[in-house]
Amino acid sequence: MNTSPLPDLTYLLPEIVRIAKGAGQSILNIYQQADHSIEHKTDNSPLTAADLASHHYIIQQLSALTPNYPVLSEESAHLPYEERAQWETYWLVDPLDGTKEFIKRNGEFSVLIALIHQHQSILGVVHAPVLETTWYAAKGLGARRQLNHEPPSLLATRQTPDKVTIVGSRSHAGDSLKNLLDRVGNYELVSMGSILKACMVAEGKADLYPRLGPTSEWDTAAAQIIVEEAGGDFVTLPELQPLRYNQKQSLLNSEFLVSGVSASAWQKIL
């Protein structure tokens, strides 16, 4: 593995925000014409067309921006581990996160682009095109949210209040989550789709997001650095260690916890 210096994040971050927004527009062009009855990813479905339109746009843009950095996307995740194990710095992309939200047409889906360096997420952009909202961060540069074309605002997680706000999945709630909630005590549960749940923690609108089901590495990397730069934790369960990337054959994550405060504060309920 070649050793390289940390990429120029100050230069790259606004460029990735631009690319994520462009990919979002390519999705909207299809989403606005899509049939409300879409149920599955098929070769000719609007969902698949939106996935691929976003994927191709992002690949083209990233290849022009950083030709020396490989790209691992959900739509091109068939590379053998032996090849990607040699990567020190690479882009990790989900061109359309929130398949079920796209099908339900509730707008809670997003474009995810992260830069991974030495197995850590060091730059991330989450863009929700229907919501016209972009969350972004880079290591040492803080985390921000931009609504439409308004000036961005700095993000910070909040200290846990007397009543905890927990954000959960619209599509993946199950017995494990219910059992955890029973141990929390006084809480409010808010449902939200895709990785936007983690963004709610980053901006201080929620305190806790437990994910007790399967996710892939491209689902989490962009939001992880946003949460961390906002002052929160994005950690594995039950170890409470930060998620790391491209360290194994499988691209599946461990179960994880996103917390506005140190994750160790929640050990009594885990």
Tens-digit pLDDT string for the chain (270 aa): 446 678 999 999 999 999 999 999 999 999 888 654 454 555 555 678 899 999 999 999 999 999 999 999 987 788 899 999 999 999 999 999 998 888 888 999 999 999 999 999 999 999 999 999 999 999 999 999 999 989 999 999 998 777 899 998 755 556 677 788 788 878 899 988 889 999 999 999 999 999 988 899 999 999 999 999 999 999 999 999 999 999 999 999 999 999 999 999 988 887
**Is the same domain home to 20 and 100?**
yes
- pTM confidence score: 0.93
Angle value at C-alpha 204, between 155 and 222, nearest 5 degrees: 60
Q: Is there a contact between 254 and 230 (Cβ–Cβ < 8 Å)? A: no
**Is the same domain home to 60 and 105?**
yes
Tell the burial category of 237 from Cβ atoms under 10 Å away from its Cβ (0-12, 13-18, 19+): middle
State the residue range of the domain holding 183: 164-269
**Is the same domain home to 88 and 193?**
no
**Is the same domain home to 120 and 23?**
yes
| Overall domain count for the chain | 2
**Is the same domain home to 28 and 114?**
yes
Does residue 179 sit within a domain?
Answer: yes
In this prediction, residue 174 carries a pLDDT of 63
In this prediction, residue 35 carries a pLDDT of 59
What are the angstrom distances between the C-alpha of 260 and each of 7, 52, 96, 233, 254?
27, 34, 25, 6, 19
**Is the same domain home to 131 and 173?**
no
In this prediction, residue 258 carries a pLDDT of 97
CATH code assigned at 124: 3.30.540.10
Q: Whose CA is closest to 209, among 229, 190, 231?
A: 190
The residue among 124, 154, 184 that closes a domain is 154
**Is the same domain home to 113 and 243?**
no
In this prediction, residue 37 carries a pLDDT of 47
**Is the same domain home to 183 and 112?**
no
**Is the same domain home to 67 and 169?**
no
**Is the same domain home to 115 and 179?**
no
Q: Three-state DSSP class for 187?
A: strand
Quote the tokens at residue 209.
């997001």
